[in-house]
Amino acid sequence: MLAGKAYMERHNQPDVVVVDKHQKTVVVIDVAIPSDSNIRKKEHEKLEKYQGLKENIERMCGMKATVVPVVIGTLGAVTPKPSRWLQQEVLQDRKRVTTRSYLPITPSDTDSGRNFSCVARNPAVPMGKWATVTLNVHHSPVVTLSIEPRSVLEGERVTFTCQATANPPIMGYRWAKGGIILEGARERVMVTTADHSFFTEPVSCQVFNAVGSTNVSILVDVHCE
């Protein structure tokens, strides 16, 4: 940090300098108390004022440096959350700032196709500019297994329907009875004749896509004459 100290000796020193040797980061914090109407202006003045120090630290010390202006207006207005400056970078012309905003979410299958929008505003564009992305959530099949009729006599025909939604699309179906694969049953609907074994051996439908598979099962209420 000798290079940074030498630079600060030739310039106005910031109020606080936080050095994290393990993370190799330096946070330069400077406080100002202007009139409320000059908060934004003072923030950018601070960024420009210490840009040289920031560059010097990064070049000479090999550490990531960030300038954080903390500005409090004389009537009580305050700077936005200082943490936002940790996600900003003053570009080389020292006039423009690039900013990143993050929205962490835990998407579910119902979020697929949902639009998320971000709007950025500054004094030059008070109405802001928008950008929108459409979420594409990949998930394994969501399956519902139904039977018609729900209660049958032994020897009657029964229809099993396997309804599923998935992203990416469904690749195939597999049917089983009592854990034994029913060869040839590869469609969404399976029609068969019920006997007493259906009462104790559940029929299951397994649905596949590129993400994974889902298996659901159902018992048939079989009555004997």
Domain of residue 191: give its range.
139-223
144 assigned to some structural domain: yes
Q: Do the Cβ atoms of 53 and 14 come closer than 8 Å?
A: yes
Q: Nearest Cα to 158, choosing from 170, 171, 145?
A: 145
**Pairing mode, if any, of strands 139-148 and 157-167?**
antiparallel
Q: Give the 3-state secondary structure of residue 113.
A: coil
110 assigned to some structural domain: no
Claim to verify: residue 27 and residue 95 sit in the same structural domain: yes
Q: Do the Cβ atoms of 47 and 70 come closer than 8 Å?
A: no
Give the separation between CA 196 and CA 225, rounded to whole angstroms: 11
8 assigned to some structural domain: no
Q: Do the Cβ atoms of 143 and 214 come closer than 8 Å?
A: yes
The pLDDT of 42-63, averaged and rounded, is 82
123 assigned to some structural domain: no
Please name the residue that has the structure tokens 């690749």.
171
Claim to verify: residue 82 and residue 25 sit in the same structural domain: yes
133 assigned to some structural domain: no
Claim to verify: residue 162 and residue 97 sit in the same structural domain: no
71 pLDDT exceeds 70?
A: yes
110 pLDDT exceeds 70?
A: yes
User: For residue 179, what is the domain's CATH number?
Assistant: 2.60.40.10
145 assigned to some structural domain: yes
Q: How many domains does the chain have?
A: 2
pLDDT value of residue 7: 45
Last residue of a domain, one of 101, 122, 153: 101
Give per-residue pLDDT as tens, 153-191.
889 999 999 999 999 999 999 999 999 999 989 999 999
Claim to verify: residue 143 and residue 218 sit in the same structural domain: yes
The pLDDT of 24-31, averaged and rounded, is 85
127 assigned to some structural domain: no
The pLDDT of 148-153, averaged and rounded, is 88
Q: Nearest Cα to 153, choosing from 185, 198, 200?
A: 198
Question: In percent, how much of the chain has pLDDT > 70?
Answer: 81
